[in-house]
Structure 1
Amino acid sequence: MVDIDVPIWAARLRVLRRGRLWNHRELGRRLADAADETGRDQLPDPETMIRLWEAGERRPDEANAELLCRAFGVAESDLFVGDAAGTTLWHYLTGIPLRSGMFTAEEEERTGRAIEAPQRADEGTVSYFRTTLDAYTRADLRPADLIHVLRPVFAGIEEFHREAGPPVRRAFLMLAAENAELISRMHHESGDPDEALAWSDEAIRDAREAADALLEAYALAQRGGLSDTIGDPGRLVDLAVAARERAHLPPWVDALSRDHEAQGHALAGDVDMCHRRLEESAQSLEECGDEPPYRSEAHNALCAGCLVDLGQAGGAIEILEHEPPKAQPTYAVAYALARMAHAYADAHERERSAETARQALALARRSGASRALRELARVQLPRQDVRHRRILL
């Protein structure tokens, strides 16, 4: 077994905390919540204590061990390792997140052996990584947090698609493409256009190497969604068209590509082509079954955004008021609200713009939605209205 510079129990604390995407402050808050009123008053500086515990410089006493168990929702035997030293070790070394109860001890051990020797990877290893990826593709996560947790997952998948045997190599390559595409979108939401484009390139390359035309089409369609990153309406249209040329697309991917093409036409000021593609997208969505990955709420928000770009604020307001943003990731709702504030401002509805901007700003700050903040910066309120202008500063 590889040696590490901290006791296994300290590594376990760090692995469990990172698996839940908690920083030291968040774990400290949860320890305080787990304590009764008397115990809460007696807690030392929790962030300092947590750092000492994870460095192995001090072991939690009985009272703090109980609070940690409550915070993590695990038994003391699970928290302080027991027979799971090997599992703790490979999660600690790779940074791949560990979630207690998600996998059996046997699945964890088998995946750890495959990490050590990628030639051992099998369908079970593929399933392990796909389940992990799905578990963190959540609407409640901040984009920056999702990037943080997905990077080591991507690194592990990349290692397998280079070193694993032929039976599973292609499956890992497809997972790498999906993972890279998701990281790209999160960089876009968190305000890092260069990284968004770099990861999008990675997703497209992996999809092509896997010779999966549908996955490549999806990656191209999503690349088109980086419209405010690319800054080239013609390129945006070309990407969306290219996506539809790669394969016979399921209706929801077809709708996604047509919506992103509509974005390009809107940015270029081509009203007729924009409306035509939006109508075609709506028709494709009608062909979808229940709960497609690309939903009508996202389509409506994008339609409204196109109308804002075309200077048709009234149409954008009608769409957004008819079906307010919902059932989307928090950062996407923040962006939709920012678009609504923009539409109200363009329609000279100052009070409604300011109120919507206030809601969007609070949500964007809470969810780490830098793209929504950039959109709010574009909202033009009368300069003499100092009270409302402060909302957007």
Structure 2
Amino acid sequence: MSNAESNPTWAEEIRMKRQGLCWTQKEMARQLRLAADEKLRAQLPSSSSIVREIRYHESGTHHPGPVYGELYRRVWKKHAKPGESEAEAKLQADPLLLSWTVGRLSQRVDRRTLLQLAAATVVNPVLDPAERLMRALMGDHRPDDPTVSHLEDRAKGFHRLEEHLPAKTLCPALMTHLGEVSALLESGPPEHLRRRLAVIAGEGAILAAWFAWELGDGPQAAALSRLANLAARRSGDDAIAACMAGYRTYMTGGDNVHGARLATAALERLGNADPATRAWLLARHAEETALLGDHQTALTSIHLAEEVYAEADINARPWTCFLDPGRFASMTLSVYSRLRREDDAVRAIDEITMHLGPNTEIKKLCVVKADLALARLRLGDVIEAVKYARTSLAATSAMAFPLGWDRLDHVAAELTLSRAQAAYEFRTEYAATRPKQVQPSLQ
């Protein structure tokens, strides 16, 4: 087992932050108690017991869970270094500006880079494109190439920010973005700009439909899905419709037959274009057919997905920026562990571990860590499975991410077969944390 697995990144982060403040574990326990409100403070154990919990957290033996996790966040926020809290606030304050800044980059953005960008972003450097957009929207002149390029960068940026910020934070700004694109489409732009604007509308509608589904608004998700398909037809960009179908494979309410059919239809629509999107859709088809028990079809699809992914450029389209090697490996892992192919599963675990770190996108941790938990559980390692599940639970709670809850539902269900104390403790904690909301099904 690697050091990264035996001493998880969250454990290292807790230890390093404490040591960076020159605190003993006893002082850390005092700070955690001070961070609690009066009601919670009365429920906390003794200081010596909190010290023991901190020791467990820093060694990776116990995950902090939602209560201690929140207390740690309050302490870190209170004692943040100059600029850190401002950067976190900036992430929430101006998603439109930040999405454009992030979208101008030619690659995915990890957590550390995003915070640096948020801290450095000011209005003045982007005044010119923003001013051009405003003038176009006010009717002072027709949209031009720089204005449309500004919106294209913004669309890319929203897809990159999606891995870092909850849907409720980004959705209002994304709808504003779509409203601006719609206004420019109605202004009678030249045909070459109209097509580019239609593509931008489609790329944004895909993500907006996903956000609406995450937030439990089925009718809005369906309407935005139709908008994405309309944009695909008007722009002649079949990849937009294929991508929308790919997102909808997650929105079936657990109907894996329908999910597999959607993935098949999307692959037929896409053809051999855009290898990254094709690799993702093939992996989704493999995941759905594996859940149906169709082992041969799942194996064929995941092998083909791996072949296509090897030649893919994940930055070719905005929606595949999430599919880095670690996330793609987690999709292969979900298939191989379901098919009980242990050697392939271990290979995928090693690949994932190689690409995870302290700056991994939060939303990615929701799914990847749950996939790791399921795989470890099926390999017979309950203790490691629970460690991964706790990390996924913390990330999923922070992001309110339905896909994370779905994966953790499978983890909790399979843990019922274990008599280990760690399994019982996690299932108890999970039952107390899991929201009751059921995601809408788009059939």
Larger Rg computed on CA atoms? 1
1:103-114 equivalences under 5 Å are 103-114=125-136
CA contact (8 A) 2:148 2:196 kept: yes
Q: Which structure has the higher relative contact order (CA within 8 Å, separation 6+)? A: 2
Native 8 Å contact 2:232 2:238 kept in 1? yes
The answer on whether the counterparts of 1:266 and 1:309 sit within 8 Å (CA) in structure 2 is: yes
Q: Indicate whether 1:175 and 2:213 are aligned.
A: no
Q: 3-state DSSP class of the match of 2:186?
A: helix
Which residue number in structure 2 is paired with residue 285 of structure 1? Answer: 309
**Equivalent in 234, 242, 246 of residue 209 of structure 1:** 234
**Cα deviation code 1:70-106 (max 9, x no counterpart):** x87xxxxxxxxxxxxxxxxxxxxxxxxxx63475444
Aligned sequence identity (%): 20
Match of 1:342 in 2: 374
Q: 1:307 to 1:388 in 2, by over 3 A?
A: same
Decide whether aligned partners of structure 1 residues 129 and 351 sit closer, same or farther in structure 2, where only a CA change above 3 A counts: same
For these two proteins, the number of residue pairs brought into alignment is 307
Work out the CA distance in 1 between the residues paired with 2:294 and 2:183: 45
Displacement, 1:288?
2.8
Given that 1:189 and 1:331 are in contact with CA atoms closer than 8 Å, whether structure 2 keeps it comes out as: no
The amino acid that maps onto 1:358 is R
Q: CA deviation at 1:307?
A: 3.6
2:179 alignment partner in structure 1: 155
Distance in 2 (CA, whole Å) between partners of 1:189 and 1:316 is 29
Q: Which runs of 5+ in 1 are unaligned?
A: 1-25, 36-67, 73-98
Would you say the 8 A contact 1:243–1:257 is kept in 2? yes
Counterpart contact for 1:121–1:160, Cα < 8 Å: yes
Q: Note the alpha carbon deviations across 1:343-375, whole angstroms, 9 max, x for none.
A: 333444322222211111112223332321232
Name 1:389's counterpart in structure 2: 427
Q: Displacement of 1:249 after TM fit?
A: 0.9
2:198, 2:395 → 1: CA distance?
35
CA distance in 1, matches of 2:335, 2:217: 22
| Correspondence 1:229 to 2:258 | no
Normalised by the length of structure 2, the TM-score is: 0.59
- Paired with 1:242 and 1:31, the residues of 2 have a C-alpha distance of 51
d(CA) in 2 for partners of 1:196 and 1:259? 23
For structure 1, which segment, 282-291 or 348-357, has the greater mean C-alpha deviation from structure 2 after superposition? Answer: 282-291
**1:313 Cα deviation (Å)?**
7.2
Change (3 A) 1:198 1:311: farther
Pairing 1:185–2:210 present = yes
For residues 272-319 of structure 1, the C-alpha deviation after alignment (integer angstroms, 9 at most, x for no partner) is 010001001111112235866443322211122234544667854552
Q: Which residue of 1 aligns with 2:164?
A: 140
Q: Distance in 2 between matches of 1:188 and 1:267?
A: 22
Which residue of 278, 292, 302 corresponds with 1:254?
278
TM-aligned CA distance change 1:268 to 1:132, over 3 Å: same
Structure 2 vs 1, CA of residues 305 and 239 (structure 1 numbering), >3 Å: closer, same or farther? Answer: same
Query: Compared with structure 1, are the counterparts of its residues 369 and 104 closer, same or farther at alpha carbon in structure 2 (3 Å cutoff)?
Result: closer
Unaligned runs of 5+ in 2: 1-72, 91-120, 432-443
For 1:243, the equivalent position in structure 2 comes to: 266
Residues in 2 aligned to 1:349 and 1:191: alpha-carbon distance in whole angstroms: 35
Change in CA separation of 1:332 and 1:188 when aligned onto 2, cut-off 3 Å: farther
Computed over aligned residues only, the root mean square deviation of the Cα atoms, in angstroms, reads 3.6
- Cα distance in 1 for partners of 2:140, 2:236 equals 22
Change (3 A) 1:358 1:313: farther
- Give the structure-1-normalised TM-score: 0.66
| Farther off after superposition, 230-239 or 208-217 | 230-239
Question: 2:147 is matched with which residue?
Answer: 125
* Structure-2 change in CA distance of 1:332 and 1:254 (3 Å): same
